[in-house]
Amino acid sequence: MEPKIAVIGLGYVGLPLAVALSRSYSVVGFDISEHRVRELKEGHDRTHEIESDVLKKSSLQVSTDPNILMDCGVFIVTVPTPVDANNQPDLEPLSSASTILGGFIHKGSIVVFESTVYPGVTEDFCGPILEKVSGLKAGHDFFLGYSPERINPGDKVHTVDKITKVVAAQTPEVAQKLAQIYGKMNNNNIFIAKTIKAAEAAKVIENTQRDINIAFMNEIAMIFAKMNISIHDVLDAASTKWNFLKFSPGLVGGHCIGVDPYYLATASKSLGHNPQIILAGREINESMANELADLITQRVGKPLRLLVLGLTFKENVPDLRNTKVVDLIEALKKRGHVVDVHDSCADPEEAKRFFNYHLVPALTIKETYDGVIGAVMHDAYCQFSNADFQRFLKPKGWIFDLKAVWRKQPPAGFNYWTL
């Protein structure tokens, strides 16, 4: 008989996974957030990952009551793995989820972690909690697994059913079982990693590599800005070489790329190795908000009334967690500018609650701003015409195109700047 599956943590990762698995299995979802479970029951996913009609039609059952986990055979944990104020891994959500699960696992259960961690967290941190609460032995009575999640919020191409899923487990038999379960969701596009630690490490380096690559772009963007060379002109030329890796400079926020390298760095330091490139990459990317505020201020020479377009951590998602646009706004204010912000994807109430920002409700205030900063290029902004800019920007006002989306055809009648 097929096992009943539980997904623990129904956020950006857990919900799409639970919905996809529920097409082939009996699946329940557990989340500690009353608010989240209520909206899902009403058929609304505020992360925009799952359409309302898909959610309403899904057989997925969701609850904040842990008793929903009763009778499940496979438990998949997708709770957050943030860092604390000192950029140290905060394993509290994993600890509390493991404690809850300890009360429901039984002989033969499989507990799979999907949260991004450093190598060892599944077997050396979560496993012992599960053992202690359940009184069962990992690898003997119940089995641990790890399967990193690679989805990219807002990306409608690389969805959970279309990307290779890495799985690993304490025994080859359990790894095969996981391959079979996940394989139903993505046409058996599965890679079985040798060990749980290898799978944990693979995920954390995927994101760390991206952070470092972007940091290199940010570093050279700053060098070339001092030389009055546009990095985009440089990248256009350099990327004609077959083995050049093209990334874009910019702010690195969110809860993955800007966070996961700290997990690896902490684990590395605890073993006595100072991870120089990883931490240098973080430092460069963390400095970008100030660097950009300086470049903008130097270019205009005086405080301006500015409108920032985009507050979320990346384009076309409503997610405001750890967005570095806030750092940019605050850095601009420190330099004397008056700054408003508009976001076509963010929830205005969240913007108020998280940052005490009142989002500009609509871009209809005529010729208000001396400059506009394209910070996060939601589709709505990419399509701006001259007339759109004229609605809110003064004639000869500044367009600071941080993502270089208007670079090929800068809007006429304004001052245009990009890196």
Ligand X SMILES: NC(=O)c1ccc[n+]([C@@H]2O[C@H](COP(=O)([O-])OP(=O)(O)OC[C@H]3O[C@@H](n4cnc5c(N)ncnc54)[C@H](O)[C@@H]3O)[C@@H](O)[C@H]2O)c1
Which residues would be at the binding site for ligand X (CB under 6 A)?
Answer: 8-14, 30-33, 36, 78-81, 93, 96-97, 114-116, 149-151, 153, 255-256
Using H for helix, E for strand and C for coil, what is the string for the chain?
Answer: CCCCEEEECCCCCHHHHHHHHCCCCCEEEECCCHHHHHHHHCCCCCCCCCCHHHHHHCCCEEECCHHHHCCCCEEEECCCCCECCCCCECCHHHHHHHHHHHCCCCCCCEEEECCCCCCCHHHHHHHHHHHHHHCCCECCCEEEEECCCCCCCCCCCCCCCCCCEEEEECCHHHHHHHHHHHHCCCCCCEEECCCHHHHHHHHHHHHHHHHHHHHHHHHHHHHHHHCCCCHHHHHHHHCCCCCCCCCCCCCCCCCCCCCHHHHHHHHHHHCCCCCHHHHHHHHHHHHHHHHHHHHHHHHHCCCCEEEEECCCCCCCCCCCCCCCHHHHHHHHHHCCCEEEEECCCCCHHHHHHHHCCCCCCCCCCCCCEEEEEECCCCHHHHCCCHHHHHHHEEEEEEEEECCCCCCCCCCCCCEEECC
Pick between residue 317 and residue 331 the one whose CB is nearest to ligand X. Answer: 317
| Active-site position among 72, 256, 345, 382 | 256
Nearer to ligand X, 258 or 371 (CB): 258
Instruction: Provide, rounded to whole angstroms, the least separation between the CB of residue 154 and ligand X.
Output: 9
Give min distance, CB of 417 to ligand X, in A: 31
- Catalytic site residue 382? no
- Cβ at position 67, least distance to ligand X in Å: 14
- Nearest distance from C-beta of residue 10 to ligand X, angstroms: 5
Shorter beta-carbon distance to ligand X: residue 204 or 328: 204
- Whichever of 14 and 275 has its CB closer to ligand X, that residue is 14
Q: Based on CB atoms, which residue is closest to ligand X, 169 or 317?
A: 317
CB atoms within 10 A of CB 355: 17
Which residue's CB atom is positioned nearest to ligand X? Answer: 11
Contacts of 79 (CB under 8 A, 6+ apart): 8, 9, 14, 93, 94, 96, 97, 115
* Least CB distance to ligand X at residue 407 (A): 28
* Smallest distance, ligand X to C-beta of residue 198, A: 17
CB closer to ligand X out of 151 and 234? 151
User: Looking at beta carbons only, is 69 or 359 nearer to ligand X?
Assistant: 69
For the chain, the residue count is: 419
Q: How far is the CB of 313 from ligand X (least distance, A)?
A: 10
> Which residues are catalytic, by number?
256
